[in-house]
Amino acid sequence: MSQPNRGPGGIDTRTPNIARIYDYLLGGKDNFAADRAAAQRLMAAVPDMAGIVRDNRAFIGRVVRYLAGEAGIRQFLDLGGGLPAQLNVHEMAQRTAPGARVVYVDNDPVVWSHGQALLASGDQVAMVCADLRKPYDVLGHPEVLRLIDLAQPVAVICACTLHFVPDQDEPYRVIAEYRDRLVPGSYLAITHGTREEDPDGMVDAVISVYRQASAQLHVRSLPDIQRFFDGFDLLDPGVVWMAEWRPDPGIPPAGRIRSLRGGVARRPLACRSALLARASNHPRYGRRAARDRRAGPGPGRAGQPARGDAAGRPGFSGYHLRRGPGWLGYGR
């Protein structure tokens, strides 16, 4: 089948691409005419759009500095990491904690191919081409398994990404699946578009630009953004305008303050007995599941692999068992 929008290398250069539009807004060079035209339309609708995306990067910088410093986090999973920018998460984290390990996940092949250059930064960094809506695939990816130890706290970053996941793709279930795989002391950081402040109908103008792009924009209300943090304890000051999240004194925001919402939360310590009970009943990790695995395929389980799915991919328990205390590590 012919694909008229695809140029050399099979890249669709004619459809504005959300990663490359963002790159252009940040002053990057990894973009095509269609991306630049879309970015120009965004800037016509929201004159301080470039400032807002710089503020988003500044938010990520403050969060990573806090996590790698005060919070002692040494592993980062950046979901929808985007094209390499001026100061990337691994550079920010390793400034504070030189041994920090970072895996970038993006489903855009162009981001992935450019991101390979990051590998030159050393074996503590990887770029994975995967869809964040499939936590099973992301967390089972060999590069994630190589760099991220799920028995230790992890910081999951979803900056300017979840608003590209529509409700029908169940973003709350997706985030809950990551959450349930994180040990206590892990963190979730999010920035997200909202319609709370929209005096001139700018949000609709932005949505209509993205309607022509590689992914559509789905802004959410403050309560709906807060909902992503269910099961976490929000750090002060909560889900706020991102420029107001622990701002650096003397550094004013580059764009309007009331633009994107941002927040950071920590997976709380849980009661060991509750977790053991939950592990015991869990369909994949619990004692009943272990007994079924020992028994092999039988009535009601005929044809199902002991672990993993029908495609032969390992189940979560597969790599958790390899990774030491794993699920029961929650109770430590």
Q: Per CB under 6 A, which of residues 13..42 are in contact with ligand SAM?
A: 18-19, 22
**For residues 155-214, which are near ligand SAM according to CB under 6 A?**
159-161, 164-165
Q: Are 225 and 190 in contact (CB under 8 A)?
A: yes
- Backbone region of residue 315 per phi and psi (left: phi > 0; alpha: psi in -120 to 50; beta: other values): beta
Q: Which is nearer to ligand SAM, 42 or 289 (CB)?
A: 42
- Nearer to ligand SAM among residue 164 and residue 316 (C-beta): 164
Question: Between residues 29 and 294, which has the closer beta carbon with respect to ligand SAM?
Answer: 29
Contact criterion met (CB below 8 Å) for 68 and 100: yes
- For the chain, the first-to-last Cα distance in angstroms comes to 55
Q: Residue 83 Cβ, how far from ligand SAM at the closest point, in Å?
A: 7
Contact between 105 and 77 (Cβ < 8 Å): yes
Q: How far is the CB of 56 from ligand SAM (least distance, A)?
A: 5
Three-class DSSP category at 115 = helix
Number of residues that bind ligand SAM (CB under 6 A): 22
The radius of gyration of the chain from alpha carbons, rounded to an integer in Å, stands at 21
Copy the structure tokens of residue 151: 């028995």
Is the separation of the CB atoms in 105 and 111 below 8 Å? Answer: no
259 interacts with ligand SAM by CB under 6 A: no
Smallest distance from ligand SAM to CB 59, Å: 8
* Least Å from the CB of residue 327 to ligand SAM: 25
Contact 172, 228 (CB under 8 A): yes
Backbone angles phi, psi at 20, to 5 degrees: -80, -30
Rounded to the nearest angstrom, the gap between the alpha carbon of residue 242 and the centroid of all alpha carbons in its chain is: 16
Q: What is the largest CA-CA distance in the chain?
A: 67
The DSSP line for 97-143 is -TT-EEEEEES-HHHHHHHGGGGGG-TTEEEEE--TT-HHHHHTSHH
Mask: binding to ligand SAM, 45-84, rule CB under 6 A, as x and -?
-----------xx----------------------xxx--
Residue 18 or 49: the one with the smaller Cβ distance to ligand SAM is 18
Which residues ranging from 141 to 160 are in contact with ligand SAM (CB under 6 A)? 159-160
Among positions 77, 97, 103, 132, the unique one binding ligand SAM when judged by CB under 6 A? 132
**Least CB distance to ligand SAM at residue 108 (A):** 4
Shortest Å distance, C-beta 112 to ligand SAM: 9
Q: How many CB atoms lie within 10 A of CB 72?
A: 10
Residues of this chain that interact with ligand SAM (CB under 6 A) are 18-19, 22, 56-57, 80-82, 105-108, 111, 131-133, 159-161, 164-165, 215
